[in-house]
Structure 1
Amino acid sequence: MSDYPPFPHDDSFPVQELLVVDYKLLKEGDEEQANILWEAATKFGRLDPSLKNHEADDFVEPMFKMGRETLALPFEEKMKYWQGNKGGSCGYKAAGATYVDADGSTDISEFINVSKDDAMAYPSIAQRVYPPTVNEFMTGTIRPFIQTCVAENRVLLDVFNDKLGLPKGTLADLHDHTKRCLSESRCIKVPAAPKDTKIALGRHTDVGSISYLTNRLGGLQVQLPGNGGEWKYVKASVSTPHS
């Protein structure tokens, strides 16, 4: 964590504590961990646990390295891989591409999104091409990172499947990773900004069933039911992603 600024230790700083699920025990079928996961998904009206003892940690820093190298490319070079404005997501998203409030303010973040299908198919092309800085990491980092996330999400889905009383494998069959879909990995870059320019990415709910978020810098905010509409920060963690 030494390469990242410390999370503020100020009692006036609004922080949202999250339930913590031990992924290793969950994978082994521990019922207590399954209950914690279910509570996170139902009590708070959204799934927002932290996972510890997960299996993707070895790929997180290499993923960030890929993101840093790619988003440090000249703007003209990055725009060769622009995601476009036809509804597609994979590729490069420039800062200022989306609105973040009713006043018309735009976001200040850049993305590089790599399609799950492209990572699995590489060196074949499933959806689009990517910068050389992405391709360099495709087989050794991006593909195994996505494969690990898919496997961990499958464990979570199986828990939900059982808690919902669905026939075994129902949710897994609806999330067949061998089929083409919109799943992707994403690296986000947010430059230092004046204090009155705080919003890097507007408030939103994620598309899809489960998002696997690695939070290093602590800028993530969540709004939970029953807290009067207050946005609270989630503490950064070296090895605990949020799902």
Structure 2
Amino acid sequence: MPTAEYFAKSPPFPSGIELIDLPQISLASLRKNTASEAERLYKASREWGFFLLRLDTGAKASDGGDSALLKDAETMFELAEELFSLDQETLDKFAYDAPRDITGYKAMGKLKTDDGKTDHMHLYSINQDDMLGNRPRRTNAPPLEAHRTEIQSFIQNAHAALRTIFDILDTHLGLTRGTLSALCPLDQQSETSVRLLSSPAQYSPEPDRISLGGHTDIGAITLLFNVVGGLQILPAGRENVAANWRYIKPEPGCAVVNIGDTLVEWTGGLLRSSLHRVVTAPGEQGGVTRRSVAYLVRPANSGSMRRLKGGRIPPVGDGDEEETRSVNEWAAWRSRQVMLGQLKPQTRGGADL
């Protein structure tokens, strides 16, 4: 999440709320290969599939590193505010063509939520390849076209942070360092995106109203920045009822990192992809607009969903069918299953915990 100064612009997260006690993992310590911090990351990636990534706010943004990423995140929040201030007619010109292509704008109320109602979330997905020049340019909404350089900076700094996390996971999975990063490169085409989200203020907020329904992320890993609460996890093994969901409290100087379904597949279920959703922010926060910025990393389109081999990763069992589909074939199949109601989103992985 952005800095404490940015948090001060919104009402505080209320006390007395049942929370998930996620560990805060220091990115600076990971970069120094601090063994205890790396072990905490691996444990969280198996137990929750979520953790908070603490970024160093001490250095100037011009020095690069953690503080540059925080500054970039604040710029993305400002960009989201500008984008979603456009009139509805203009935004609708950039509507995505789901499920064929989910790049572009999705209006609030287009998706069904777990309780059969409709979502309360505007979102705009920005294609990474478009921003980095790996494919011909798309035509995006005017604020995005005007801020391509800032979006590129966010992508590059966010990717650098996640590359450090991939390296730690490589080590603890017994893989050659660089294995996971090589599967999700910046210079090859993928469906990786920056997603700007906005849930309008609810002046008479309905407690636990679902703004974005329960789901797991289909990609490899996600880096999320948010200031106002509302993000929840359903702990593994719990029945999907309102009383069992737990909030993640936003913390200044931290981002939320969560493992996606692709990493569960590649690791034979060692890592965990947890069911999560967004509901009305608690307390006074329910009366303000909730914005968030996500960097959703997907593998290269040319990649395979075949389970990785070696280290701690269990081999495919006798009688089990090995996954051989390409990244895009598997993602399309899985998305279609969910949309047709043939697959119910649920927590996956975390084997032998």
Same fold (TM over 0.5): yes
After TM superposition, list the pairs within 5 Å mapping 1:68-79 onto structure 2: 68-79=81-92
Supply the distance in 2 between the matched residues of 1:149 and 1:207 (Cα, whole angstroms): 18
2:36 paired residue number:
32
2:213 is aligned with 1:202: yes
2:30 is aligned with 1:17: no
2:127 is aligned with 1:130: no
2:13 paired residue number:
7
Stretches of structure 2 lacking an aligned partner (at least 5 in a row): 1-6, 57-65, 258-353
2:201 paired residue number:
192
After TM superposition, list the pairs within 5 Å mapping 1:107-146 onto structure 2: 107-121=119-133, 125-126=136-137, 128-139=138-149, 141-146=150-155
Identity %: 29
DSSP-derived class of the 2:196 partner: strand
1:50 paired residue number:
52
Greater Cα shift, 156-165 or 85-94: 85-94
Contact 1:161 1:167 in 2 (8 A): yes
Cα displacement (A) at 1:93 = 0.8
Cα displacement (A) at 1:78 = 0.5
2:235 to 219, 224, 228: 224
Contact 2:23 2:52 in 1 (8 A): yes
Cα displacement (A) at 1:215 = 2.1
Kindly provide the amino acid, as one letter, of the partner of residue 25 in structure 1. S
Contact 2:112 2:119 in 1 (8 A): yes
DSSP-derived class of the 2:222 partner: coil
Cα displacement (A) at 1:205 = 0.4
Greater Cα shift, 228-237 or 177-186: 228-237
Cα displacement (A) at 1:65 = 0.8
Supply the distance in 2 between the matched residues of 1:77 and 1:163 (Cα, whole angstroms): 48
Cα displacement (A) at 1:89 = 1.8
1:91 to 98, 104, 114: 104
Cα displacement string for residues 98-120 of structure 1 (whole angstroms, at most 9, x for unaligned residues): 1112x531101001211111111
1:156 to 158, 161, 165: 165
Supply the distance in 1 between the matched residues of 2:212 and 2:29 (Cα, whole angstroms): 34
2:74 is aligned with 1:61: yes
Cα displacement string for residues 7-44 of structure 1 (whole angstroms, at most 9, x for unaligned residues): 0112xx21111111100110121111110100101123
Cα displacement (A) at 1:87 = 2.8
Contact 1:71 1:112 in 2 (8 A): no
Supply the distance in 2 between the matched residues of 1:133 and 1:147 (Cα, whole angstroms): 20
Supply the distance in 1 between the matched residues of 2:170 and 2:234 (Cα, whole angstroms): 26
Kindly provide the amino acid, as one letter, of the partner of residue 192 in structure 1. A
DSSP-derived class of the 1:211 partner: strand
Supply the distance in 2 between the matched residues of 1:85 and 1:241 (Cα, whole angstroms): 28
Supply the distance in 2 between the matched residues of 1:173 and 1:28 (Cα, whole angstroms): 21
DSSP-derived class of the 1:77 partner: helix
Aligned residues: 235
Stretches of structure 1 lacking an aligned partner (at least 5 in a row): none
* TM-score between both structures, scaled by the size of structure 1: 0.91
Cα displacement (A) at 1:196 = 3.1
Cα displacement (A) at 1:131 = 1.2
Contact 2:166 2:178 in 1 (8 A): no
Cα displacement (A) at 1:228 = 5.4
Cα displacement string for residues 65-124 of structure 1 (whole angstroms, at most 9, x for unaligned residues): 1111111101110111111224322211101111112x53110100121111111129x7
Supply the distance in 1 between the matched residues of 2:118 and 2:101 (Cα, whole angstroms): 19
Supply the distance in 2 between the matched residues of 1:88 and 1:172 (Cα, whole angstroms): 25
